[in-house]
């Protein structure tokens, strides 16, 4: 037997749990799992950001049409604006929650980078 190994061939410093898995192996597996969780959280955050940006662009286009008075059915456009704004508000909230899950607790810049326009009234 080599130096530093017991009768079962286990090396000193690793330790073995009741299933025979070395503690270091468990630690590495846990680190890999944690890295995978972090990657998934970041991916989800990016997807939410893209969705929010798309909704805000669409909302901006509807707002531009309303300001230029180039819309056939103004009431329908106002209703669309209100629905998009409500959707964007919800998406921004989801984005904020996911940011918190990723460890970002300061949301001061959200209003600057993802501003919600005021509700449009007739």
| Segment 87-119, tens digit of pLDDT | 999 999 999 999 998 899 999 999 899 999 998
Q: What's this model's pTM, rounded to 2 decimal places?
A: 0.72
pLDDT given at position 3: 55
Give the integer Cα–Cα distance in Å for 108 and 8: 58
The two tokens of residue 72 are 């056939």
Give the integer Cα–Cα distance in Å for 92 and 7: 60
pLDDT given at position 90: 98
pLDDT given at position 72: 73
Q: Which residues of the chain are under the pLDDT cut of 50?
A: 1
Q: Mean pLDDT for the chain? A: 84
């Amino acid at each position: 037997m080599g130096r530093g190994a017991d009768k079962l061939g286990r090396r000193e410093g690793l330790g073995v749990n009741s299933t025979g898995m070395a503690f270091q192996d468990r630690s590495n597996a846990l680190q890999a799992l944690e890295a995978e969780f972090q990657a998934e959280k970041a991916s989800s955050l990016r997807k939410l950001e893209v969705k929010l940006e798309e909704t805000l662009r669409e909302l901006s286009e509807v707002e531009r049409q309303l300001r230029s008075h180039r819309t056939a059915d103004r009431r329908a456009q106002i209703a669309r604006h209100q629905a998009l704004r409500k959707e964007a508000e919800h998406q921004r909230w989801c984005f904020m929650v996911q940011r918190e899950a990723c460890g970002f607790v300061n949301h001061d810049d959200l209003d600057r980078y993802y501003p919600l326009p005021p509700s449009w009234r007739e």
